[in-house]
Amino acid sequence: MRTTRIGLTVAAMLMAGSAAQAQVSDDAVKIGVLTDHSGGFAYLVGKHSVEAAQMAVDDFGGKVLGKPISVVTADHQNKADIASAISRKWFETEGVDTITDVAGSAVALATQEIARSRGKVLLISGAATTELTGKACSETTSQWSYDTYAFAKGTASQVTKQGGDSWYFLTSDYAFGHSLQRDASRFVEASGGKVLGSVRFPFGSPDFSSFLLQAQASKAKVIGLAMSGADLLSAVKQAREFGIVQSGQNLASLVIYINDIEGVGLNVAQGLTLTTSFYWDANDETRAWAKRFMERSGGFIPNLITAGTYASVLHYLKAVEAAGTDEGKAVAAKMKELPVNDFYNKNVQIRADGRVMHKTFLMKVKSPADSKYRGDFYQQLAEMSGDESFKPLAESECPLVKK
């Protein structure tokens, strides 16, 4: 009997040891950066998001639970079917444990369904539609950086209250643009303004003349640009060429990145009011991190997606370590349990719907005379807490939220 007990004990120890070793699948943790490497968002994300993810891995130490961490990337080409195919292959045959960035709302929604069906963690830093934490929410998805509700609320409300009480929207014809216009319209009307109309254009349009002329004919005080990336830059430049701003109408960009400000120049962008969740020049911590990133990236000024990608990967790795496994649902639960802490997030919670409840800031673009050095672009007008910024849970359509 004593021999039998010893045998059972040894067997149990071997099984326990085997289970412990199996806590990290494939003896490695692999992070996939699914992003735009060749299209209209590539200058904002692409290789810069890959660098942000790798920087987070390096800062974490390169290993988790004693296993190596690697970063892979692919170009989704801004097509939902391509994003689905890549994420499916990554999860099923290439050992990818989590995907980050996923720039573009349509590709993010498609990727979320693949991740949901396979119980994998999705870290969305590059897509802004509120559907991701709304009716399409998933227990293994978290949404970082921004969403259309928060940015539309910050900009539309403020511009309307300052006298821009009639709006006409130029809207990119995909999930992101639709969501942005819907949310902005709500806040324009809640602030006492009116929406006079809108026109949708296909993503990647080279010519905005007909759309801008429709907006001009509306006589709206504000032309709301519900778009981003290369489309936004083209629309702003063409609006200047047509003299729309000079004739008295104002442009309001509902989502604009610091790299866009640099691209069009302060002469064009000065006075623009915008909302952001990250500014590299906000304080000593953000400046120190941004300096390290710019040294690694050849001088690229990190934007809110860059910062969100870094923060999401770092928090994911902390959760893997705390959970003792890279199993998706366990890690996602631990991510919600642990507060998010990094160089710009301080004790930030991830809600049940996956929304990361960080602060947002209302900014005004400086004039060339007020800017003292490269990247010195913003004057902070207001700071908003996560609760002030994002859609209340009482309004959520997420089935994970208990009401």
Residue 398, in any domain of the structure:
no
Could you report the per-residue pLDDT of 353-377, keeping only the tens digit for each? 999 999 999 898 899 999 999 999 9
Tokens 């040894």: give the residue.
Answer: 10
Give the residue from 220, 104, 168, 150 showing the smallest Cα distance to 382: 150
Identify the three-state secondary structure at position 169. Answer: strand
Q: Within the chain, what is the greatest distance between any pair of CA atoms?
A: 96
Same domain, 238 and 370: yes
d(CA 192, CA 44): 34
pLDDT per position as a tens digit, 244-260: 888 889 888 888 999 99
If asked whether residues 257 and 179 sit together in one domain, one would say yes
Q: Is 273 helix (H, G, I), strand (E, B) or coil?
A: strand
HSE at residue 358, side-chain half, CA atoms within 13 A, is 27
How confident is the model at residue 16, as a pLDDT?
Answer: 40
Residues 161, 66 share a domain: no
Tokens of 146: 């921004």
Q: Could you tell me whether strands 194-201 and 360-365 are parallel, antiparallel, or unpaired per DSSP bridges?
A: unpaired
Whole-number percent of the chain with pLDDT over 90 = 76
272-297 pLDDT tens trace: 788 999 999 999 999 999 999 999 99
pLDDT at position 243 over 60: yes
Task: Count the neighbouring beta carbons within 10 Å of the beta carbon of residue 251.
Answer: 21
Whole-number Å distance between alpha carbons of 105 and 131: 9
Confidence at residue 279, expressed as pLDDT on a 0 to 100 scale:
98
Domain tally for the chain? 2
Q: How many other β-carbons are positioned within 10 Å of the β-carbon of residue 292? A: 14
Do 125 and 47 belong to one domain? yes
Count CB neighbours of 359 within 10 A.
Answer: 17
Q: Is residue 349 part of a domain?
A: yes
CA angle 51, 56, 57 (to 5 degrees): 95
Radius of gyration of the chain (CA): 23
**pLDDT recorded at residue 19:** 39
* pLDDT class of 403 with cuts at 50, 70, 90: low
Q: Which residue has the higher pLDDT, 388 or 280?
A: 280
| 18 has pLDDT over 70 | no
**Based on the domain organization, do 114 and 60 belong to the same domain?**
yes
Under 8 Å between Cβ of 150 and 386? no
Residue 397: inside a domain: no
What counts of helices (H) and strands (E) characterise the chain?
14, 13
Whether residue 342 lies inside any domain: the answer is: yes
Residue span of the structural domain in which 329 resides? 29-146+283-358
Integer Cα distance of 170 and 293 in angstroms: 34
Task: Tokens 């936004």: give the residue.
Answer: 232
157 and 262 belong to one structural domain: yes
Dist. CA 389–CA 357, nearest whole Å:
8
Q: Do 134 and 153 lie in a common domain? A: no
User: If you average pLDDT over each of 151-160, 246-255, 388-397, which comes out highest?
Assistant: 388-397
Same domain, 170 and 265: yes
- Does 17 reside within a domain? no
The DSSP call for residue 394 is G
pLDDT at 371: 98
Are 70 and 122 in the same domain? yes
**Closest of 400, 349, 370 to residue 138, by C-alpha:** 400
Q: Judge if 239 and 376 occupy the same domain.
A: yes
For residue 156, pLDDT over 50 is answered with yes
Residues 92 and 161 in one domain: no
For residue 49, is pLDDT > 60?
A: yes
Q: What is the pLDDT of residues 308-321, one digit of tens each?
A: 999 999 999 999 99
Q: Is the pLDDT of residue 11 over 50?
A: no
Q: What is the mean pLDDT of the chain?
A: 92
Cβ partners under 8 Å of residue 315, min gap 6: 335, 338, 340, 342
Q: Which pLDDT belongs to residue 320?
A: 98
State pLDDT tens for residues 138-149. 999 999 999 989
Band (pLDDT 50/70/90 cuts) for residue 161 is: confident
CA distance 218 to 113: 40
Q: What is the CATH number of the domain that holds 191?
A: 3.40.50.2300
Place of tokens 């949708």: 200
- Is the domain of 216 the same as that of 334? no
List, in sequence order, every beta strand (DSSP E) within 55-189. Answer: 63-64, 67-75, 98-101, 121-124, 141-143, 166-172
- pLDDT of 187 above 70: yes
Q: What 3-state DSSP class applies to 347?
A: coil
Decide if pLDDT at 15 tops 70.
Answer: no
pLDDT band at 71 (very low <50, low <70, confident <90, very high): very high
Q: For 76-130, how does the pLDDT look when each residue is reduced to its tens digit (9 = 90+)?
A: 999 999 999 999 999 999 999 999 999 998 999 999 999 999 999 999 999 998 9
* Domain presence at residue 381: yes
CB atoms within 10 A of CB 289: 19
Task: Indicate the pLDDT class of residue 381, thresholds 50, 70 and 90.
Answer: confident
pLDDT band at 382 (very low <50, low <70, confident <90, very high): confident
| CA 145 to chain centroid | 4
CA dihedral 383, 384, 385, 391 (to 10 degrees): -160
Whole-model pTM? 0.87
Torsion of CA 331, 333, 334, 340, to 10 degrees: 110
State the pLDDT at residue 273.
80
